[in-house]
Amino acid sequence: MIGLGNKMRILGVDPGTKILGYCVIDQNNEALQCLTWGVVKGGPSKEVANRLGILYSGLHDIIEEWKPDVLAIEEPFVAPTRGAKSAVTVGQAQSIALLLAVQNEMSIYRYAPTNVKSTVANYGAGSKLQVQHSVRVLLGLGEEEMSEDASDAIAIALCHIYQTRYRQLVERN
């Protein structure tokens, strides 16, 4: 287990087949630095397999460049109105990230959307704007342009950092 005084590089991923949000955050003791964030777009193809190939290549390049230790990924959540087909495609995008994490010997942690929101925005049903505001404040990111998918990925990585710190404190006491 990673101690409070250790370094860790986290890849946060908000899975989706059309747009996959990502970020890379360095934790060095208590200091946090968001190194990069953005989105990988699955492209205009209606074929899910083609979009998954684009997502795989894009995420592979990010992992090669930044060499994260940990993947923090959001568990798929699909509103009941969107249906099972949507849930399956989000799960496929999640599988791409999981496969790349295994291939690169990264530790993998999954978080429910309500867990991410309550950890970062102090409200499990918080809006995307509330989450984005919280990650900006927590990391001092200012008003740089940021998509909702990227801010969700940052929130997922922060959730992992805070949950890890909490678990370590509980284990020590």
Pick the catalytic residue from 74, 75, 144, 148. 74
Residue 2 sits at φ, ψ, to 5 deg, of -80, 125
Q: Is 149 part of the annotated catalytic residue set?
A: yes
* DSSP symbols for 62-125: HHHHH--SEEEEEPP---TTT-HHHHHHHHHHHHHHHHHHHHTT-EEEEE-HHHHHHHHHS-TT
Burial 56-78 (b: 16+ CB within 10 A, else e): bebbbebbeebebbbbbbbbbee
| Helix, strand counts (H, E) of the chain | 5, 5
Pick the catalytic residue from 47, 143, 149, 171. 149
CB 120 within 8 A of CB 158: yes
Nearest to 12 by CA among 106, 117, 152, 130: 152
CB atoms within 10 A of CB 163: 16
Pick the catalytic residue from 14, 26, 47, 75. 14
Q: Which residues are catalytic?
A: 14, 74, 149
